[in-house]
Structure 1
């Protein structure tokens, strides 16, 4: 009999689901200063660097259930966020 080794999937609220696939390192960090919804009602983070970033919860591809909860969004305000736009500007 074969032993089945189960592993957690990436669509759970784990650090693996928040990694930056484009190679951004954590030194290119801005702070989340607020949120707003776009015309399609998707949540967008406003960053201290002046850029914005859509934060969608679309399992299994993007697991960010916290973005749907006002209290959890408030907790993320002031937290570091690796800005992909700033990373592109440095290349």
Structure 2
């Protein structure tokens, strides 16, 4: 049997771009290098690792009001971001 590895729901603290604290590999961090909008108008962060991450502002579920302001988005460029895609690849490598 496989162990069900449950994790607590994420909260606003620590910040969404802080290093991971849930057991994921800290080396799976990238930096935000830019933003673009998808076909529905949601903002997508472009990461230095080559992956992308939606940064939706859909209160009350996802509260990222900074995505709606060009200056606030620009201020996030260069910020560290724990890439979930990279973390999954690291975890997948460990299972084999």
CA displacement 1:21-79 (0-9 Å, x = unmatched): x7545442100000000111110000000000000011111111101100000000000
Q: Size of the alignment, in residue pairs?
A: 78
Moved over 4 A (4+): none
Structure 1 gap segments, 5+ residues each: 1-9
Say what the alpha-carbon RMSD is for the aligned residues.
Answer: 2.1
Give the TM-score of the pair, scaled to structure 1.
Answer: 0.74
Structure 2, unaligned runs of 5 or more: 1-10, 92-96
Q: Which has the larger radius of gyration?
A: 1
Mapped to 1, the partners of 2:59 and 2:82 lie a distance apart of: 21
- Relative to structure 1, the CA distance from residue 26 to residue 64 in structure 2 (aligned partners, 3 Å threshold; closer, same or farther) is farther
